[in-house]
Amino acid sequence: MLQAAGRALRWNTRQSQRAAMLARPLSSTPLRRSQGGSDIERGSQLHGFVVEDVQSVSELKLKAVRLRHQRTGLEWLHIDRDDANNVFSIGFNTSVTDSTGVPHILEHTTLCGSERYPVRDPFFKMLNRSLSTFMNAWTAHDYTQYPFSTQNGQDYENLQNVYLDAVFRPLLREVDFRQEGWRLERESELGWQIKGVVYNEMKGAFSDAGALFATRAERQMYTGTTYEHESGGDPQVIPELTYEALVDFHRTRYHPSNARAYSYGNLPLAPQLARVDAAIEGYVRQKPVEVEMQVKPFGEKMVTEFGPAESVGAADKQTKFSVSYLANDLRNVYETFSMSVFSGLLLNGASAPMHQALIDAHIGTDYSPNTGYSPYTRQTSLTVGLQGMADKNIPLVEQRIAETLARVGESGFEQRRVDAALATVELAYKHKTADFGLNLMRSVSTGWFHGVNPVEYLRVSENVERLRADTGVFSKLVDRYLARSQHKLKFVMLADPKYMQGLDEKEHEMIQSKLAALSSADLARVDEQNAELAAEQGQVEDLGALPTLTLDDVAPEAQRFAVDMGVSAESVPVQWRAAATNGISYVRAINAVRDKYPELWPYMPLFCEALTYQGTATRDMAEIETDIRLHTGGISFSPFVSTDLANLGHVEAGISFGTHCLDTHVDRMLELVLELVRETNFGNTARLRALLAAMATNMYNDVASSGHAFARRLAASTLTPEMSAVEQLNGLAQVRFLGDLRRSGDLENIAQRLSQVRDVVFDRATLRTAVTANAGSTDANARALERLLTAYPDAPEREGIVDADKFTPTPGRFFCPLPVATSYAAQATRCVPYTHADSPALQLLAKLLTPGFLHREIRERNGAYGGGSVYSAVQGIFSFFSYRDPMPRETLATFGRSIEWLLSHEVSEREMREAKLSVFGDLDAPLSVSDEGMAYFTAGITDDMRQERRERFFAVTPRDLRNVAETYLAAPDAAARTSAAVIGAEGLDMSGWTRVNV
């Protein structure tokens, strides 16, 4: 799926990020620390590599080793750190000179088979032959990367070999180019169409109004450079790419001289160097291809373009406008860091001067999608803008931006805010996350591919201290890059209700133009090629060439997370976990309201956001926000819903909140939590109006990028109480609810409703808490928590309490029309609760159907960007979905055919093993320290329950899969427990389906 990761990772194409509960052991391969980097010295030579630098970074508890391959010049950064979640990535500079999407399509096609592993799509095949904690590939502005992570030593070697062979010795067959890139194909009912995985992915991306605005603005900002082109591919240009150009791009870009390798963790380095040296045997050093990255200043210009209209908000307030300023060269690491901090202080939160000048003034609904500092191009940029505004207010917005920058340039920022921003940076690096190695790679990659020593990015404290001592630094930045800008773009996008229709017409014209250039013999050849592709997709492959783990590599015992259960003096349950938290205390709490107050439930998301937005009667949010950043890593509130582990008809619902801080700040952290809980001023209607507008706009925009998730929620909403609540809280029903609230304009009534929510939710009698901290800080946490609980509200007596209606599962078929170029389809079936004996088999069945049938039919044949099946064990829902799908009705039929395939298919030992490996990969992925023990706190899942379920997974047989398929998905009563949903363009023929408008 496309994963949002800021503007750095433009088209993140293949994701297998496994959420999990347990860490798993390394392979039995012995770890020799002398080969991990600890004893390596500058000048050492290993397997064709020479060590250029070795540096320790004590604040991050790591040693960085920089190496270079002597024959080819390949650069390598190894991070030696005591972390079992080992990471590897190989990447290449892939800057472009057009918008055909050649690096994006090449990224897909290299993973469609290689010399050593000549099977179709070994990447997806390896997902189920591995215990990886992450597998992906992405194309950014200037580079393409292929990263993975795993805790198993043999798995690491297997994946490294597959990735290296894929990039250096891919088959690059034309048939794969036509599947992944683009092709003409004759459809019996629709006539000639353009298909292709990347083509449909980018059609979906370009129908997202926000993403389109950011892309078009950037194109205008960087005219004459590589950045005016779309590295992911413009759907109107992708069909200009030829197979020969793809092969040539690989020859010139996927070369060791143009490559960067990254490794992280506690596995030995020397064997990895040997594997890479062998993989690039025969290559010699060559000069990398250079493209223009330096923009020629054009002074100031204003550009207006058109984009899709959005149904949320008033028709006369759909304009997007931004002002972009060319900033520093990203290779200046300190200045890039300073600009990043400056951008946060200028823009983020209630205390930010630009927020006060633009958002609080209600000129627009929220910042424009490209607002912020962008350090992802050779010359960076800072952008400020608004969306959801009237075009008549463009001069006003431009004036306010200029005035605010001038004021900041003259006076700078309040010192407390600067201190708070730097404290946030420092705390973030102390926070022990499960994916630290991957995040570290992302933080250094852009600069590294532009020639920066990546170790410079690791010395965070040095930059922090330098900034603290740099008097007037922010005024200097304003003067240097903003006040006297020689390169400033003012970009406007006006909403065109017929924009999507225009894209369809252009696509039709493009198809007709291509057909006109083909003879009858050419068209016959196209039909033959498509028939060859279909035959290729239908073949049963021998996967014997691919490496695999076995179930012997899976630990029989789940890792356990010891917790102590206690009760405070106020009779509030407290879960304690002592862990190595690096001096940070984590506090979570849940207030349950059960199934009461159904009329207030839709207000919960707005209520949660308002708690950290509105301020109080005595302090505005700007002041509170600065305190939060000075003393904590943030305070967050969110709605909470969880299904009873033994009964799908029973749910626990309410609110959850969490926060963390240095151990020395626990008292102040919990004082701030209590202040928000007790004193938030919902009656500040000016701020409430701004918050509501931003939430309505942003949630509507989320549908275009995450439509598969919205379709799944909508489909399941009629089947269980939890999914009904989730739809109200985070589905299309919430999109519609926020839009209706915003259009009503009755802010006084909304504020009253939010106050009612506070009265019923924050109740000491329904509260439970959890604390994770160092053993030495337990007493301090206990004292601070007791003070919080003593002052925590008791819910007042309330007359006329209404219980939610008894839930009755009902089937349904729903269609939500939206201005999108591709669709999202989903189907959901109610099955069994977590503790039911059939639950593990259902989870394994979902893991088997995706690679066995759905991936081939939905992605390869139908051309959707993604699709598959998922079983949520806690929710008891079996789901099918597709993502950026050009043929949603065909996909719905495919969902049903997948069960028919399973029932007529003899599941092999290999398929069974791979499904189990995939499940154990999910179960055993590492956790951040703050999440350890949380499965019990949030859902009641004990270590013993997880172990029992683990043993059931080992014991499931092919016959068990057939039984659960027959019992729950193919039984005569399955239709009464099944619903479906499609999100797509207005013109889709969905007659007979219930229409859902937002």
Kindly report the number of other CB atoms within 10 A of residue 508's CB atom: 13
Q: What is the DSSP letter of 852?
A: I
- Rounded CA separation 625/356 (Å): 14
Burial 62-87 (b: 16+ CB within 10 A, else e): bbbbbbebebbbbbbbbbbbebbbbb
Helix (H, G, I), strand (E, B) or coil at 290: coil
Q: What is the DSSP letter of 36?
A: T
Q: Of the listed 75, 107, 201, 727, which one is catalytic?
A: 107
- Rounded CA separation 998/993 (Å): 16
Helical packing angle, 243-253 and 102-110, nearest 10°: 80
Show the tokens assigned to 964.
């659960």
- 345 and 677 Cβ atoms separated by less than 8 Å: no
Helical packing angle, 460-469 and 415-430, nearest 10°: 170
Show the tokens assigned to 382.
């800072």
Return the C-alpha torsion angle 516, 520, 521, 524, nearest 10: 100
Helix (H, G, I), strand (E, B) or coil at 226: helix
Q: What's at 30, amino acid-wise?
A: P
Return the C-alpha torsion angle 448, 453, 455, 457, nearest 10: -60
Show the tokens assigned to 984.
């797509």
| 692: nearest Cα among 738, 758, 643, 630 | 738
How far is CA 832 from each of CA 245, 519, 715, 720, rounded to the nearest angstrom?
A: 52, 57, 17, 11
Q: What is the DSSP letter of 429?
A: H
Phi, psi of 119 (to 5 degrees): -120, 155
- Rounded CA separation 217/492 (Å): 8
- Rounded CA separation 660/424 (Å): 11
- Rounded CA separation 700/834 (Å): 32
- Rounded CA separation 401/477 (Å): 16
Q: What is the DSSP letter of 633?
A: S
* Burial class of 729 by CB neighbour count within 10 A (0 to 12, 13 to 18, 19+): buried
- Rounded CA separation 842/985 (Å): 33
- Rounded CA separation 738/603 (Å): 9
* Burial class of 916 by CB neighbour count within 10 A (0 to 12, 13 to 18, 19+): buried
Show the tokens assigned to 496.
């065109």
| Residue 224 zone, left/alpha/beta (φ > 0; ψ -120 to 50; rest) | left
- Rounded CA separation 383/495 (Å): 21
| 225: nearest Cα among 290, 295, 288, 326 | 295
- 990 and 982 Cβ atoms separated by less than 8 Å: yes
Residue 187 catalytic? no
* Tokens 């047989």 belong to residue: 957
Show the tokens assigned to 432.
């022990």
Q: Of the listed 180, 185, 652, 911, which one is catalytic?
A: 180
Residue 557 catalytic? no
DSSP string, 480-537: IIIIT-SEEEEEEEEEETTHHHHHHHHHHHHHHHHHHTS-HHHHHHHHHHHHHHHHHH
- For residue 821, what are the contacts with CB-CB under 8 A and spacing of at least 6? 203, 204, 206, 207, 235, 500, 503, 985
Helical packing angle, 909-924 and 943-955, nearest 10°: 170
| Residues with catalytic roles | 107, 180
